[in-house]
Structure 1
Amino acid sequence: MREAQAAGRYERLPWIRVVAGEPSRVSVTMPDRVGGTATRPWALMRPGQRRALFRSTPAGLEPLWLWLNEDGMPRDPHGWHHTFEAANRRISGLGLDGFRCTPHMCRHSFALRWFSIGKLVRGHQMAHLSKDQTDDFREQFGDTWHLVQTMLGHKRVETTKDVYLEPFRRLEVEQLLAHSEGFPVARFMAEAFASHPRVRTDPLAGDS
């Protein structure tokens, strides 16, 4: 980014919009078309609109977009696919045939790992509660399915269950963990998932 600022690259971009003041966590203020300013919630701005936002600093214009290319330019939202393709080619060149990764595989891995962690944590949190208290807790705060749904940004929890966490549904983990006192849950999941076509590695690997 500093190199791009020094070279004046950002000032030459015709599509940028320089924000007014410091953006807040929930909104950003930009110049409007009639010489004034307009404040818009972040939640209503599309990725392409966010990518065009810059702010003025003593060092020059600075992109508000989190992901930048090596030359400092804001990265295209779909640019990660090219990054993974390049990485896959390098891995293949090392002789690791059959090993391939995509951005969406990382998303599935994220869902699987956090569902595993969420289940184990919630199990410890609610171990002392009665069934009625547990049901009340889930009614107020949702269960682990809804936790992962929120983290992935899904509109419907069925998408989270049927697509991203299908391995857990097949194992009926809800019933398993409800009767898991003294049962080696982490080891069982690692062994059970070892043969599942959608699971490459133990989702809890590396946890202590």
Structure 2
Amino acid sequence: MRLSEWASVLRLELPADDETRTYYTCRLAEACAKGGRGRRFWMPRSVLVDVLAYEDGERAAAVRRAQRARRYEQLPGLFLVERRTRNRRLEMRDTGGRRMTASMDSLDPGARERLFRQTAAGLEPLAVWLNEDGLPRAAHGWQHTFDTGNERVARAGLTSFEANAHMMRHSFALRWYSVGRLLYERQVAHLNAEEVRDFRAQFGDTWYLVKTLLGHADVTTTMDTYLEPFRDLDVSLLIQHAHGFALSALMASMFATHPQVLSDPLAGELS
């Protein structure tokens, strides 16, 4: 997901944890998606567990501090959400008591920052991500988080190693192209050339898998921008290297010297 998209998610949009699940199918609201194209996205359980741990720890502490300071009562234009219906509509009221309903798909990130619920301890934001003062965290605030991390890395002497939020999407694209391509080759290994063409026409190829996961409108963006390191990579070589290797080792060996792929700067020292 894009930084602005993940930053806009509400607590009531998170699935309930289920130890038997590996992934959860979630929904990104239209008003929060680039180009207004709401879509499904898939959340690993490991991510959900981390988010729930954040809710019970750092987030809960920030909310308690804000409640003690009565910080939420001072905010203008709040909406108190009372109920979520099955068709993704919220029943709420403003601070004057006026009741209204709104589709979750129509609430953009700015509107979501004003959504609260009433608890026994006081008001609480519905936004998942909060600043230390308990207020909803704007998407651009995460850029500062990466800047702080980069400064810490630089102080450790790794001056040529920097990361930003958008690089996470590139890493995601490379990983899932690798996974998808390996699975695709296994699926069509028994087919002849004509059958492979029919299979691709019916189900698409790996580019379209990654396009769907990234939420792109045009597969050309996926191919030209996010997966450029793969464009000149011979698939048979990828399959050959994949035999007997974990995916992380495969990608490290294939892209260690590629100018657009950032590798672990300590890998050589630790080996």
TM-score for the superposition, normalised by structure 1: 0.78
Q: Distance in 2 between matches of 1:143 and 1:111?
A: 14
Which position in structure 2 is the counterpart of 1:98? 160
Q: Distance in 2 between matches of 1:199 and 1:56?
A: 47
Whether 1:37 aligns to 2:100 is yes
Q: Which runs of 5+ in 1 are unaligned?
A: 203-208
Q: How many Å apart are 1:38 and its aligned residue?
A: 2.3
Which position in structure 1 is the counterpart of 2:260? 198
Q: How many Å apart are 1:188 and its aligned residue?
A: 6.4
Whether 1:184 aligns to 2:241 is yes
Give secondary structure in 2 for the equivalent of 1:71: coil
Q: How many Å apart are 1:25 and its aligned residue?
A: 7.5
Which position in structure 1 is the counterpart of 2:180? 118
Q: How many Å apart are 1:176 and its aligned residue?
A: 5.5
Whether 1:54 aligns to 2:111 is no
Q: Distance in 2 between matches of 1:172 and 1:15?
A: 56
The alignment's C-alpha RMSD in Å is: 3.1
Q: How many Å apart are 1:77 and its aligned residue?
A: 1.2
One-letter identity of the residue aligned with 1:12: Q
Q: How many Å apart are 1:86 and its aligned residue?
A: 1.1
Q: Distance in 2 between matches of 1:136 and 1:57?
A: 57
Aligned equivalent of 1:158, options 220, 240, 245: 220
Aligned equivalent of 1:80, options 142, 149, 154: 142
Matches within 5 A, 1:118-137: 118-128=180-190, 134-137=196-199
Q: Distance in 2 between matches of 1:62 and 1:135?
A: 54
Is the 2:116–2:124 contact (alpha carbons within 8 Å) kept by the matching residues of 1? yes
Give secondary structure in 2 for the equivalent of 1:20: strand
Q: How many Å apart are 1:201 and its aligned residue?
A: 3.0
CA separation of 1:13 and 1:112: change in aligned 2, threshold 3 A: same
Is the 1:29–1:40 contact (alpha carbons within 8 Å) kept by the matching residues of 2? no
CA separation of 1:47 and 1:140: change in aligned 2, threshold 3 A: farther
Count matched residues: 197
One-letter identity of the residue aligned with 1:93: R
One-letter identity of the residue aligned with 1:152: L
Is the 2:89–2:101 contact (alpha carbons within 8 Å) kept by the matching residues of 1? no
One-letter identity of the residue aligned with 2:112: R
CA separation of 1:95 and 1:201: change in aligned 2, threshold 3 A: closer
Give secondary structure in 2 for the equivalent of 1:56: strand
CA separation of 1:65 and 1:167: change in aligned 2, threshold 3 A: same
Q: Distance in 1 between matches of 2:64 and 2:201?
A: 50
Aligned equivalent of 1:69, options 131, 134, 153: 131
CA separation of 1:8 and 1:191: change in aligned 2, threshold 3 A: same
Identical-residue share of aligned pairs (%): 50
Is the 2:115–2:126 contact (alpha carbons within 8 Å) kept by the matching residues of 1? yes
CA separation of 1:169 and 1:28: change in aligned 2, threshold 3 A: farther
Q: How many Å apart are 1:85 and its aligned residue?
A: 0.7
Q: How many Å apart are 1:115 and its aligned residue?
A: 1.4
Which position in structure 1 is the counterpart of 2:55? none
Q: Between the two structures, name the one with larger relative contact order (CA 8 Å, sep ≥ 6).
A: 2
